[in-house]
Amino acid sequence: MRKFLKPTVRTSYSLPVTDSSLNPLAQSFDVNRNQTSSFNSQLMYAPHMSNSNNKFQTLPTLELSKFDGNILNWQAFLESYDTTIHSNPSLADSQKLNYLKALLQNEALTTVSGFTLTNLNYSKAIDLLQRFGQNKNKKITHTYMQTLLALSAPDSTVQSCRRFYDKSETLIRGLESLGQS
């Protein structure tokens, strides 16, 4: 039984091969190699791939909320504007001022309405709006507190309790964002 378990290894193989039988195989290999090369180059230059020279990816259109002068919306507007427009190095200051004016309404728009669309006027308009916001911080805190204290007590339904909770949490988060606790 031991002689049947002995491993045997064949070290050479001999197959009769002619040039005519290799020719279709070689052509098939060349076609596959060309297709692979073409596919690899398509991947290399695909538009969805990131380019090292391109710092910003194209994102879906984001609509910024407008600021109408309501002091409770000031901080959220300022953060959103700063992130998307003010800190964008690809925009000239005159373009930023144009965006700013397009996003302002009522009292806030009146604050910067005298500025023409020039690079120099952008920093002046931003400074004026920031002073507008700083002067409002005490008033914002007062408004949050008044609104919180004026919330009507919920009735015995779950929905009413949930609305009361959501409104009070929103106001408390607003106070916390102003440094009030």
Domains in the chain: how many in total? Answer: 1
Q: List residues bridging with 104 in a β-sheet.
A: 67
- Assess if residue 35 is contained within a domain: no
Q: List residues bridging with 170 in a β-sheet.
A: none
107-144 tens-digit pLDDT: 888 888 888 888 899 999 988 888 877 766 677 788 88
- Assess if residue 89 is contained within a domain: yes
Q: Would the pLDDT of 19 be above 80?
A: no
- Assess if residue 46 is contained within a domain: no
Q: Would the pLDDT of 6 be above 70?
A: no
Q: So what's the pLDDT on residue 40?
A: 40
Radius of gyration of the chain from its Cα atoms, rounded to whole angstroms: 34
- Assess if residue 9 is contained within a domain: no
Determine the structural domain holding residue 113 and report its residue range. Answer: 71-177
Q: So what's the pLDDT on residue 162?
A: 92
What rounded mean pLDDT belongs to the chain?
74
